[in-house]
A and B are shown apart, each in its own frame.
Chain A
Amino acid sequence: MTRALYNAARTGLSEILAHKTRSTLSFLAIAAGSVVFIDAFSAIVATYARLESQKAVSGIARMKISQNHGRAIADVDDYQSPPVITYDDVLRLRERVPGLHMVSPEGSSWRNMLEHDGQRVVTRVAGITPEWRKRDFVYDLKGRFIDWHDVDEKLRVCVLVRPAPPEPANALFKTMRQKYNFMGGYDLLVTHNDLLGRVIKIDGVNFTVIGVLDELPPSRKPPRIWWSGGDYKTLAPVTTLMHYGILRSHNSLDVSIDAGDEKGFDEALRLVRNFLKVRYGDEDLFVVENQMDAIKENMARNISSSLVTISLGMLAFIAGGIGIMNVTLATVFARTKEIGVRRAIGAGRGDIMLQFVVEAVMLGLIGGLLGTALGWFWGVPAKVMLGMPPSPIKIWMPVVSVLIAALTAFVFAIYPAWVAAGLKPAEALRAE
């Protein structure tokens, strides 16, 4: 059997070399399937990598409490400011719902004035606690971060976020950035001045810069399915900002929560909602975003789009297989006399069938290898050259792709090979 396979492979190779154009067309049909397949596989792997990275960097069991700005007001004249979440409420929540991985309050009045060395720029100061860095901390820290001592003692310290140098981008992006980045002055100030250890003024209050967070460039940022972080500029203890009136009493804190694991999420969500209900009554004053479901939906969307790509790969393979069947059938009819000669000198039906199947499988194998090479070229160097993230191509992907290509060729070669084996020797010899 091994010898028969070897001989069939030799004959197949000589046939492939003898009919270069026909063979090349077959290779390309199968190669297209391989390229799409590798791209789809790597897209799925990338999705799962993003999921893992999401778990590690951002967590999955996330929720966020914020004021319900869409609440209907019955009578404008009777309007009263809605209740707010204060820092004390956050501490109480921590106490009432134990076991949460992160309870990170965040308060912001959106536009603040930062002054340094006579230079004034607009910034956004976010009041936070040390819990802020538990999730989505994708920065390089210089100096130190805000600690509990700063929060408890309401110390006037801050951390500045320095933007990453812009990635090569298209002209439109650059124009839009120029037009809408009203904090461009802040970006320039922190980029061109080493402010670590210096005293700056925020809304007229002196703050010492204890740390600088360097934003990671997009290429170094861990991939994620869902991004929960905001556009941070200046961070300070939430208690300090409230104490000095930078955050006013009507500013409600948003609270980002990580329940820790998916299993405990539903119970944590129930307890958080219950806490809000007990604290503020039945009114729909606050919204608790179920971010875990959003993350999962996003992941499902990513995977289903990859599955669509895999279906396209399958279709490409089927098209390639039909191409191989067509080519093999044409070969059978073109080589009818040869089949007659081989039968006359003693080849059995099995020998003829084996010969055509092996020849087609070789077309599939070579096409699969070609497709794998093209798939890698598209997935890594081409995407990098086009400024896209490279596809995570694992070693098993080309192997599976080549095997599927060979299997497709095998399946689609069975019918033509069966036709060839069924030819009657005397009639085949008479063929012109």
Chain B
Amino acid sequence: MIRCRDLEKIYEGGKAGWPALCGVSFSITPGESVAVTGPSGCGKSTLLNIIGLLDEPSGGGYEFDGLDAARMSDGERSAARLHRIGFVFQAFHLLNRLPAVENVCLPMMYAGETSEGMRRRAHELLARVGLKGKERKTPLELSGGERQRVAIARALANSPKLLLADEPTGNLDSASSREIMDILFGLVGEGMTVIIVTHDRELAVRAGRNIKMRDGKIESI
């Protein structure tokens, strides 16, 4: 499903730029759960952004679901993010002025789903992540763990094949972290490919594979 070959990412700055990824190569098959770990600044999030088609590598090749990312137009990348990739962020990245159900509806809105269909599915997903009865609450009225559940429900809205989570438990207490982990690994059990960037050892241990990174390179797989 995912194939990276000698991925490089150099951010502009200074004479030579700042290298975030230096020759990263690996593959992930469908249904795998992979944890990407390493110290801060080692390039984990950069790698996740490239895998999620949010960013483009400076060098090397990346194949997603059989498609060469370098040949994809911006529209194709957007369509892939819309239908095949779900994102969960450490800072949740929910729209605070919208209630939970509207946040979950957003990806379906861009997919052209009907209003009724969107709402039905959003309610199902919120019930699935344990937020039944809290659909009309805005993110500011929810706890950190609840916000992350809304973010997971939003990520699952268009039934993606790949779920990317960037430090999903980074802002949560241990009890909430465990609940979020259970939800994420439950998805793996349903056949979804899940890639989690994390500092959380417990989370990394539960993943099927652990990619350890240091200084923009893979230390071990």
Interface residues of A (CB under 8 A from B): 3-4, 7, 14, 18, 337-338, 340-349, 351, 424-426, 429
Which residues on B sit within 8 Å (CB–CB) of A348?
A: 74-75, 78-79, 82, 110
Pairs A–B under 8 Å by Cβ, sample size 25? A3-B112, A14-B97, A14-B98, A337-B93, A341-B95, A342-B110, A343-B78, A344-B52, A344-B54, A344-B81, A344-B87, A345-B106, A345-B110, A345-B154, A346-B79, A346-B82, A346-B83, A346-B158, A347-B82, A348-B110, A349-B74, A349-B75, A351-B110, A424-B55, A425-B54
Nearest chain A CB to B113 CB, angstrom units: 9
Which residues on B sit within 8 Å (CB–CB) of A346?
A: 78-79, 81-83, 107, 110-111, 158
Q: At the interface, yes or no: B109 with Cβ under 8 Å from chain A? A: yes
Q: At the interface, yes or no: B171 with Cβ under 8 Å from chain A? A: no
Q: CA of A351 to CA of B114 in the docked complex: distance in angstroms?
A: 17
Q: At the interface, yes or no: B25 with Cβ under 8 Å from chain A? A: no
Cβ A426 vs Cβ B112 within 8 A: no
Q: CA of A18 to CA of B109 in the docked complex: distance in angstroms?
A: 21
> A18-B97, A341-B94 known; 14 other A-B pairs, CB under 8 Å?
A3-B114, A14-B97, A343-B81, A344-B81, A345-B82, A345-B110, A346-B83, A346-B107, A346-B110, A346-B158, A348-B75, A348-B110, A349-B74, A429-B54
Q: Which 6 A-B pairs have the closest CB atoms?
A: A346-B82, A426-B55, A348-B78, A426-B54, A425-B54, A426-B49
Q: CA of A39 to CA of B153 in the docked complex: distance in angstroms?
A: 54
Q: CA of A345 to CA of B107 in the docked complex: distance in angstroms?
A: 6
Interface flags, B54-96, vs A, CB<8A=1, else 0: 1100000000000000000011001101110001010001110
Which residues on B sit within 8 Å (CB–CB) of A429?
A: 54, 89, 93
Q: CA of A350 to CA of B52 in the docked complex: distance in angstroms?
A: 20
Which residues on B sit within 8 Å (CB–CB) of A337?
A: 93
Chain B contact patch, size range: 20 to 34
Q: CA of A225 to CA of B79 in the docked complex: distance in angstroms?
A: 65
Q: CA of A355 to CA of B199 in the docked complex: distance in angstroms?
A: 37
Which residues on B sit within 8 Å (CB–CB) of A342?
A: 106, 110
Residue of chain B at shortest CB distance from A337:
B93
Interface residues of B (CB under 8 A from A): 49, 52, 54-55, 74-75, 78-79, 81-83, 87, 89, 93-95, 97-98, 106-107, 109-112, 114, 154-155, 158
Which residues on A sit within 8 Å (CB–CB) of B97?
A: 14, 18
Cβ B49 vs Cβ A345 within 8 A: no
For the A-B complex, the count of residue pairs with Cβ-Cβ distances under 8 Å equals 62
Interface of chain A, helix or strand or loop or mixed? helix
Nearest chain A CB to B119 CB, angstrom units: 13
Which residues on A sit within 8 Å (CB–CB) of B87?
A: 344-345
Q: CA of A395 to CA of B216 in the docked complex: distance in angstroms?
A: 67
Residue of chain A at shortest CB distance from B94:
A341
Q: CA of A424 to CA of B154 in the docked complex: distance in angstroms?
A: 21
Which residues on A sit within 8 Å (CB–CB) of B81?
A: 343-346
Q: CA of A342 to CA of B114 in the docked complex: distance in angstroms?
A: 19
Nearest chain A CB to B54 CB, angstrom units: 4
Q: CA of A349 to CA of B54 in the docked complex: distance in angstroms?
A: 13
Residue of chain A at shortest CB distance from B80:
A346
Residue of chain A at shortest CB distance from B160:
A346
Nearest chain B CB to A429 CB, angstrom units: 7
Which residues on A sit within 8 Å (CB–CB) of B110?
A: 342, 345-348, 351
User: Which of B75, B89, B106 is most buried by chain A, counting CB atoms within 10 A of its CB?
Assistant: B106
Q: CA of A340 to CA of B52 in the docked complex: distance in angstroms?
A: 13
Which residues on B sit within 8 Å (CB–CB) of A344?
A: 52, 54, 81, 87, 93
Which residues on A sit within 8 Å (CB–CB) of B111?
A: 346
Which residues on B sit within 8 Å (CB–CB) of A343?
A: 54, 78, 81
Nearest chain B CB to A183 CB, angstrom units: 74
Nearest chain A CB to B134 CB, angstrom units: 20
Which residues on A sit within 8 Å (CB–CB) of B54?
A: 343-344, 425-426, 429
Cβ B55 vs Cβ A425 within 8 A: yes
User: Which of B52, B79, B93, B154 is most buried by chain A, counting CB atoms within 10 A of its CB?
Assistant: B93
Which residues on A sit within 8 Å (CB–CB) of B52?
A: 344
Which residues on A sit within 8 Å (CB–CB) of B82?
A: 345-348
Residue of chain A at shortest CB distance from B155:
A345
Cβ A7 vs Cβ B109 within 8 A: yes
Which residues on A sit within 8 Å (CB–CB) of B74?
A: 348-349
Nearest chain A CB to B141 CB, angstrom units: 16
Nearest chain B CB to A92 CB, angstrom units: 86
